[in-house]
Amino acid sequence: MGVMNNYVEALFVLLPEDAGGRAAAVEPRGGGYCPMLRGADGAMLRIRVIEGPPRIAPGQDGHVVAHVETPLADDALLAPGSELDVIEDERVVGILSVARLWRGAAVA
């Protein structure tokens, strides 16, 4: 069996800059935004946001799809309803609320 890719559909909320969030907007469709996520148990995952609105500014939210780049040891971390901290440079800049987790086979 080949490697499986994990994807998550979620509500992505960026904190306002004055609340510790980032200064600039992110562009989900660009595929270049790759923050870490931290679960309530401290587990860390890297994601790559690949779909959503054209931009999400600090203080705003949007529905996104992200590729989970870290191998997923426990699906419970990304169970629907889970909330994870969005981490950049060791600080929380947002919150990701999971709506759905799904797997797709990697293309060789």
Instruction: Over range 23-38, report the average pLDDT.
Output: 95
Q: Which domain holds residue 41?
A: 4-105
Distance CA 49, CA 10 (A): 10
Q: Provide the CATH number for the domain around residue 67.
A: 2.40.30.10
Against a cut of 0.85, is the pTM above it?
yes
Residues 39-67 pLDDT 10s: 988 999 999 999 999 999 999 999 999 99
**Count of the separate structural domains present in the chain:** 1
Distance CA 87, CA 33 (A): 12
- Token pair for residue 39? 């679960």
Residues 1-27 pLDDT 10s: 456 789 999 999 999 999 999 999 999
Residue 78 pLDDT more than 80? yes
Task: Considering only residues 57 and 105, tell me which one the structure prediction assigns the higher pLDDT.
Answer: 57
